Structure 1
Amino acid sequence: MHMSRARFRWAAVLAGMAVLAPAVPAWADGPAGDYLLTLAPRHGPASTWRLWCDPDGGTLDAASQACDQLAAADGEIARIPARPGLCTLEYAPVRVTADGAWHGRPRHFARTFPNRCVAVRDTGGILFGE
């Protein structure tokens, strides 16, 4: 069978994309949620976790609890209620971001908080709490 040069190039491009695709779990319909979570202090290294829901997993230790919070908020981190509790008035800014999808709909959250305690508390106490 003869393959035209254009078809050969597209086949090579698609094969290359398959090799470069990130290694994520393969479910029939995909997970309900899939997020990359980052907590970045102004000074110091950032922490990053991977979270997917239904089935729950990733590098976040509390994946099941985090997924329960996301399910109650339709995958919108801004809709997760703050965890009760007090934080110090220390000013050590941190930026938290979450990029991903919930049931196929893109989700993005980014906010800067005055310190890590406030960031964890105001996002429900689980997603960025590790």
Structure 2
Amino acid sequence: MNDNILFTPFQLKSLTLKNRIGVAPMTRMSSPGDSIPRQDVLDFLIRRAKNGAAIVYTEAIITDYESAQGYPGQARLLTQRQIDAWQPVVKAIRNQGSVAIMQMFHCGQIYDRASAEDALKSADIALSGKSILLNPHWVE
């Protein structure tokens, strides 16, 4: 096996990636207040592209209802201001010859009740088994 295959271009349908390196999504709870990630987090994603990653995934981003939020500090893409904050990041990643991919997120039944009064979920079936929660008040 060629050890250098990791650094060779890869064709994915109509998309040509400069190598086979991707940065996995890392949710950092870095979006306080208006749900826009702090600048250091946005810069982190851009640096990954500058350092050679062909694919840079964002952290988990809420894209539809506020009830999709699973925990405080989660990025959202619901308002024009939030969209505008991501545009220069995507542009900077593309300028490095890399691809930005958004990790769309909905937490399902384990939503942050402080952020939304009621969640849209697949069924009114109680959760079973063990769940790891950051804060116990999130689940009734």
Normalised by the length of structure 2, the TM-score is 0.25
Bigger fraction of residues in strand: 1
Normalised by the length of structure 1, the TM-score is 0.26
Tell me which structure has the larger Cα radius of gyration. 1
